[in-house]
């Protein structure tokens, strides 16, 4: 367990919670849920966990954003991941058969994911990134499963073999696939032999929304 800086205003249980958050972030690259903290520290009530977290926040050892899931981060030297980048979660993308573009996103403007800056490719730091939650399993051979979150950089075109989020304009559908431009149109290639490529004719329009730069593996997500 990682040792963290201790303030005179906290006790052993506070220290245990801080240590667990630091260890969890180092392993999973994002903070634990309230319930996970409670299970580790043998606290059955989420309100009691919140009480301890509030005290840690008052001591300046923790920052919290109650509007988002797992909205906490250790401060200063306590944070094993260093500076964090908040990326807005913009909606759902299908890794399977294309789905209709939803009229409303299931996510609110407050929904986001936090990524350690140290984990980001250096060339992508500081760019206007966005996140989409994956539905379906057509990209499992690319290590992208149902429920994972993909981080994308905005793009309007792509090279063959790049993984992109695509809006099939005339079909009003979206999908996540490998992109290939071919003589007679476009091929959107899945990474699962159980799925067939999506063939787009040359006279059809596809709208590339972004290129995948990072994948956040599915974890049980519980509201903070």
Give yes or no: residues 66 and 130 share one domain.
no
Give yes or no: residues 60 and 93 share one domain.
no
Give yes or no: residues 173 and 91 share one domain.
yes
**Residue 44 designated active-site:** no
Q: What is the pTM of this model?
A: 0.60
The residue range of the domain holding 143 is: 84-216
Confirm whether 40 is domain-assigned.
yes
Token look-up 């220290």 returns 15
Helix axes 46-58, 12-28, angle to 10 degrees: 90
Rounded mean pLDDT for each run of 10 residues along the chain, 224 residues in total: 45 85 80 90 91 88 79 68 70 78 53 67 67 91 90 91 90 90 93 93 88 76 36
Options 7, 67, 118, 177, the catalytic residue = 177
Give yes or no: residues 121 and 192 share one domain.
yes
| pLDDT for res 220 | 36
Give yes or no: residues 111 and 33 share one domain.
no
| pLDDT for res 49 | 92
**Residue 138 designated active-site:** yes
Confirm whether 6 is domain-assigned.
no
| pLDDT for res 99 | 65
Token look-up 């159980």 returns 194
Options 112, 138, 209, 211, the catalytic residue = 138
């Amino acid at each position: 367990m990682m040792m963290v800086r201790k303030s005179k205003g906290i006790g052993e249980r506070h220290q245990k919670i801080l240590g667990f958050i630091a260890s969890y972030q180092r392993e999973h690259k994002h903070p634990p849920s309230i319930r996970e903290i409670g299970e580790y520290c043998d606290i059955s009530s989420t309100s009691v966990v919140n009480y301890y977290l509030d005290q840690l926040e008052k001591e300046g050892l923790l920052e919290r954003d109650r509007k988002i899931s797992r909205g906490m981060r250790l401060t200063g030297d306590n944070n094993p991941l260093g500076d964090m980048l908040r990326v807005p979660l913009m909606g759902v993308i299908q890794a399977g058969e294309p789905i209709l573009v939803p009229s409303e996103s299931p996510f609110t403007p407050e929904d986001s994911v936090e990524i350690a800056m140290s984990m980001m490719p250096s060339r992508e730091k500081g760019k206007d990134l966005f996140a989409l939650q994956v539905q379906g399993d057509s990209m499992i051979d690319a290590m992208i499963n149902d429920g994972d979150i993909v981080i994308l950089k905005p793009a309007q075109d792509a090279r063959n073999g790049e993984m992109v989020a695509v809006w099939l304009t005339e079909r009003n559908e979206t999908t996540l696939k490998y992109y290939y431009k071919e003589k007679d149109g476009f091929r959107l290639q899945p990474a699962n032999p159980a799925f067939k490529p999506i063939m787009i004719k040359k006279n059809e329009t596809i709208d590339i929304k972004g290129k995948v730069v990072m994948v956040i593996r599915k974890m049980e997500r519980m509201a903070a």
